[in-house]
């Protein structure tokens, strides 16, 4: 029997089966998000492990049956900011003056109206392009469009308004689409649009 | 109901529609517009390809077995510590 158990019968100190059942299914999502945040597999592994240990220790703060994935991702994200991001000397602030590309669809609707080129780009190149996004944009795109979190869940995890989630997503998607398009043209997946027409 | 939004309004809500982030009423307005507006429908299909590709690419990565084992071992050690 564990010492803590006798002291607090009402509040078990071990997370045990419930932790296993609610937290462990999200290891894949945690690992994927960690990979995108760190852009480094070994750091991603450390980050996921740190996150799980912190989650385990804080398990009593989690309300069973609520959003375990969101709760875990919040811990992962805070851990990343506090313990990992500083090491990378990555620019934290998003450059709001950065050149904003136009909507890609208007540009390619004649050569690839269905956007078939997106799925012809190899996964590694897609992930490279995601990793090249500014950190604030990358984060919302990964959580929303790669992990399927709702805008509300993301706002809560990142402590930002839903409107900020949406505006970052809008710009992240545009930048990513433009980067993927440039890659697709460079590698001949789709032809470059003629510069003169009409 | 849901018969009167224009292309600009539909365009502004397109991603939210595809991500199922709209209220049922707003979603119905966009759906109704896409049904009768071919250019907007085509643009929606293009954006959908992008979103589907991202979700599909993401799902191909999972937590490595070794890491899973390492974490379970660390959790067990933590648990025994009490």
> What tens digit of pLDDT does each residue of B56-71 get?
999 999 999 999 999 9
Residue A58 shares a structural domain with residue A118: no
Nearest Cα to A173, choosing from A184, A165, A161, A183? Answer: A165
Residue A48 shares a structural domain with residue A109: no
Distance from CA of B54 to the nearest CA of A (A): 6
Find the CB nearest B71 among A2, A49, A177.
Answer: A49
Decide if A73 is inside a domain: yes
Tell me the residues of chain A between 159 and 188 that have a Cβ less than 8 Å away from chain B: 166, 169-170, 173, 177
Decide if A182 is inside a domain: yes
Decide if A45 is inside a domain: yes
Cβ neighbours of B75 in A, within 8 Å: 19, 52-53, 56
**Mean pLDDT within A170-180:** 95
Side-chain-side CA neighbours of B81 within 13 Å: the count stands at: 9
Q: Which structural domain range is residue B26 located in?
A: 7-81
Query: Which CATH number covers residue B53?
Result: 1.10.10
Distance CA A74, CA A115 (A): 33
Decide if A95 is inside a domain: no
| pLDDT confidence bin for A146, thresholds 50/70/90 | very high
Query: Which CATH number covers residue A111?
Result: 1.10.10.10
Decide if B2 is inside a domain: no
Distance from CA of B25 to the nearest CA of A (A): 18
Residue to substitute from A3, A5, A46, A118, interface B, most B β-carbons within 10 A:
A118
Residue A111 shares a structural domain with residue A59: no
Q: What is the pLDDT of residue A134?
A: 94
| pLDDT confidence bin for A100, thresholds 50/70/90 | low
Q: Which structural domain range is residue A75 located in?
A: 12-88
Distance CA A168, CA A191 (A): 29
Decide if A194 is inside a domain: no
pLDDT tens, position by position, A62-98: 988 899 999 999 999 999 999 887 655 555 455 444 5
Q: Domain total for chain A?
A: 2
ipTM: 0.91
Query: Which CATH number covers residue A67?
Result: 1.10.1740.10
Decide if A19 is inside a domain: yes
Decide if A132 is inside a domain: yes
Nearest Cα to A30, choosing from A14, A52, A11, A13? Answer: A52
Q: Domain total for chain B?
A: 1
Distance CA B47, CA B52 (A): 9
Chain B positions with Cβ closer than 8 Å to A: 15-16, 19, 21, 42-43, 45-58, 60-64, 67-68, 70-71, 74-75, 78-80, 82
Residue pairs between chains A and B whose CB atoms are closer than 8 Å: 105
């Amino acid at each position: 029997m564990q010492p803590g158990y006798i002291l607090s019968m009402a509040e078990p100190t071990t997370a045990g089966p419930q932790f296993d059942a609610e937290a462990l299914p999200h290891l894949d999502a945690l690992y994927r998000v960690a990979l995108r945040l760190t852009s480094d597999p070994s750091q991603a592994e450390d980050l996921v492990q740190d996150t799980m240990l912190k989650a385990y220790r804080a398990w009593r703060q989690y309300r069973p049956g609520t959003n375990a994935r969101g709760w875990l991702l919040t811990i992962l994200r805070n851990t990343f900011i506090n313990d990992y991001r500083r090491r990378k000397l990555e620019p934290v602030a998003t450059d709001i003056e950065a050149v904003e590309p136009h909507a890609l669809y208007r540009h390619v609707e004649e050569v690839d109206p269905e956007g078939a080129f997106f799925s012809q780009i190899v996964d590694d190149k897609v992930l490279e392009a995601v990793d090249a996004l500014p950190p604030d944009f990358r984060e919302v795109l990964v959580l929303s469009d790669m992990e399927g979190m709702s805008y509300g869940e993301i706002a809560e995890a990142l402590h930002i308004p839903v409107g900020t989630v949406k505006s970052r997503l809008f710009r992240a998607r545009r930048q990513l689409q433009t980067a993927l398009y440039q890659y697709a043209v460079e590698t001949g997946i789709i032809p470059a649009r003629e510069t003169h027409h009409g | 109901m849901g018969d009167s939004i224009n292309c600009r309004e539909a365009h502004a809500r397109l991603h939210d529609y595809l991500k199922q982030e709209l209220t049922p009423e707003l979603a119905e307005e966009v759906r109704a517009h896409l049904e009768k507006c071919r250019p907007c429908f085509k643009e929606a299909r293009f954006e959908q390809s992008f979103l589907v590709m991202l979700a599909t690419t993401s799902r191909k990565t999972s937590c490595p077995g070794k890491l899973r084992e390492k974490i379970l071992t660390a959790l067990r050690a933590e648990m025994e510590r009490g």
